[in-house]
Chain A
Amino acid sequence: MSDAADPPPDTVDADAPVTASLRLTPAQRAELEAWCADAYPDEGCGLLIGPPSAPAGDGRLTYRVRRVTRARNLNVARARDRYVLDPADFLAADRAARADGLDVVGIWHTHPDHPPRPSITDLEAAWDGYVYLIVRASADAVGPMRAWQLGASRRFVELDVETDAGAAAADTRAGADASKDDALKEPAPHPDAGASS
């Protein structure tokens, strides 16, 4: 192996403006990060389930994830640097999504010890319309994660990844709303908490 290999062709259209975002809840993000750590040093993968998305008035598209699923990586021989998502897991997730009026809106996978930037392999296998969330995983950390989607140029365009505190469950709300400094303090009491009957 050589570090002096030719640089890979650019898989990303860096000039394209960011016009879409992927929104995860803190709980989804935590679940996903745990799966990424568990899969390491192999590549992990799974699906992002959500409602069909339509652009807002400003033309911006937001993918609000309702749940994340984990799938098996069938590429056992090269699991360290490739993944093939088990189509049977896709089928099960798609059936469950349809039953709830939802869709498969994207795919997540890890890049063990590599940046979360799409490879040529990712580009060659990419489908129009899906969001591809790529998460860096290493022996002692998970992240960062970045999201991508095929653009008109047949290269990837980046999406913003947002953590949606507003949609989080009540038990994660205090932590999600807190800044790093505030996280050290006691959560503020709920406005109704002190009311007596």
Chain B
Amino acid sequence: MPQITLRIPTPLRGFTGGASDVAVELDDGEATVGGALRALGAKHPDVTGRILTDDGALRTFVNVFAGDEAVRDLDERVADGAVLHIIPAVAGGTAR
């Protein structure tokens, strides 16, 4: 069973019991980025709504990196030992 590590950013650690890394094990059929995020949600239910929409898509203000690659397609496969880095979208400015 592929094991994936998810790196949790500071603002979401309140929903993961303070954990900065969460390891999940996936069935082969679920070895995707989306599968890993859902498995994270199964361990820490409160984090799901912060990362995924009700339809299961990635929220626009969250980025997920597999290695150096930004992932938007949650069906993208992940290999055993992969590290997924969750990065909050950071924006703002003078306007308004």
Q: Is the CB of A88 within 8 A of B91?
A: no
Asked whether B7 is an interface residue with its Cβ less than 8 Å from the other chain, the reply is yes
Q: Is the CB of A127 within 8 A of B94?
A: no
Q: Is the CB of B87 within 8 A of A90?
A: yes
Q: Which of B7, B10, B11, B63 is in CB contact (< 8 Å) with A87?
A: B63
* Residues 39 to 85 of chain B near chain A (Cβ within 8 Å): 61, 63, 65, 68, 70, 85
Q: Is the interface of B mostly helix, strand, loop or mixed?
A: mixed
For this complex, into which size category does the number of interface residues on chain A fall?
35 or more
Q: Which of A75, A95, A128 is in CB contact (< 8 Å) with B93?
A: A75
Q: Is the CB of A83 within 8 A of B91?
A: yes
Contacts of B93 in A (CB 8 A): 43, 75, 78, 81-83, 109, 111, 119, 121-122
B contacts, CB < 8 Å to A: 7, 9-11, 13-14, 20, 61, 63, 65, 68, 70, 85, 87-96
26 A-B residue pairings within 8 Å (CB atoms): A75-B93, A81-B94, A82-B91, A82-B93, A82-B94, A83-B91, A83-B93, A85-B90, A85-B91, A87-B65, A88-B70, A90-B88, A91-B65, A91-B68, A91-B85, A91-B87, A94-B7, A94-B9, A112-B94, A119-B92, A125-B61, A126-B92, A127-B90, A128-B11, A129-B11, A129-B13
List 20 extra interface pairs beyond A81-B94, A111-B94, A113-B94, CB under 8 A: A43-B94, A80-B94, A82-B94, A83-B91, A83-B92, A87-B87, A87-B90, A88-B70, A90-B63, A90-B90, A91-B68, A94-B7, A104-B9, A104-B10, A112-B94, A119-B93, A121-B93, A125-B61, A125-B92, A126-B92
